[in-house]
Amino acid sequence: MKMVAALLGSASLFSVLVIAKGSIEAAQADTAAPTANPAAPVFNQLDRNADGKLSFLEARQDARLIDTFYRMDLDLDGFLSPYELGRLSN
C-alpha cells in the first residue's frame, strides 16, 4: 500500500512539473510573439534560428517575401521584424 502511495505521489509531482514547464513555454512564446500581430504564426515558422528577426535566407521560404523583402525592411537593418512582416497583409 505504501508503494502505491509513493507511485501516486511521484505521478502527481510529475504532472506538476509538466504543467509548470508548459506554463514557462507559454510565457516565453508570449514574449516572442505578440498576440495582436496576425503575422506572428508565420513569422515564428519562418524564423528558423528563433532570434526574433527574419534574414533574407529565412524569409525566402515564403515566395511572397522574395520580391518584397527589402521593401518591407522599413528600418533597413537587413532583417524583417514581426512588425515589418505584419505589414504584408495590408
Q: Where along the sequence are the contacts to Ca ion (CB under 5 A)?
A: 47, 49, 51, 58, 73, 75, 77, 79
CA 27 from centroid of its chain's CA atoms? 11
> Are 46 and 58 spatial neighbours (Cβ–Cβ below 8 Å)?
yes
Rounded to a whole number of angstroms, the minimum distance from the CB of residue 14 to Ca ion is: 34
Comparison of 9 and 34: residue with beta carbon closer to Ca ion: 34
> Is the CB of 79 or the CB of 82 nearer to Ca ion?
79
CB of 70 to Ca ion, least distance (A): 10
* Min CB(66)–Ca ion separation in Å: 16
Which residue's CB is nearer to Ca ion, number 13 or number 51? 51
- How far is it, in rounded angstroms, from Cα 14 to Cα 48? 31
Residue 68 contacts residue 74 (beta carbons within 8 Å)? no
Nearest Cα neighbor of 72 from 53, 49, 47 is 53
